Amino acid sequence: MHESVLARQMLDAVLRRALSHGASRVRVVRGWVAETVSLSPERLFSDFATQARGTQAEGARLLLELIHVEARCRACGRTYAPEHPRLRCPVCGSTNGEQLGQTGLAVTSLVVD
């Protein structure tokens, strides 16, 4: 489900940028997605392709860097790779974690017609 939301956000960003450049078709999308939870690249790409049908981005190739953002537990000080959206510490179980990097997504460049 999370990949579907990220795919929609990516598509919205792509279409806004394509519109601002007067593009009739988007061929390639370059960018990054940074998350604290594990993502399925295949699912993200598939969801993007599905949601792009009928838009200028239909058939566009995604070249995305997937970045996993680590967290640090404020209770025990452990640095870990979260597998839960609430940043649950695998050592002490605390959900009082802090992200050690920016999350979100960005479109860095497009190849368009």
Q: What is the 3-state secondary structure (H, E, C) of 52-113?
A: HCCCCCCCCEEEEEEEECCEEECCCCCEECCCCCCCCCCCCCCCCEEECCCCEEEEEEEEEC
Q: Is the pLDDT of residue 94 over 70?
A: yes
- CA angle 41/47/53 to nearest 5° reads 135
Q: Return the SS3 of 46.
A: helix
pLDDT for the residue numbered 89: 95
Domains, the chain, with CATH or none = 2-112 (3.30.2320.50)
Q: Average pLDDT of 73-99? A: 92
Q: Return the SS3 of 21.
A: coil
Q: Is the pLDDT of residue 85 over 80?
A: no
Given pLDDT bands bounded at 50, 70 and 90, which one contains residue 1? Answer: low
Q: Is the pLDDT of residue 31 over 70?
A: yes
Given pLDDT bands bounded at 50, 70 and 90, which one contains residue 81? Answer: very high
Q: Is the pLDDT of residue 101 over 70?
A: yes
Q: How many Cα atoms sit within 13 Å of 8 on the Cβ side?
A: 5
**Which amino acid type is present at position 102?**
Q
Report the relative pairing of strands 26-35 and 61-68 from DSSP bridges: parallel
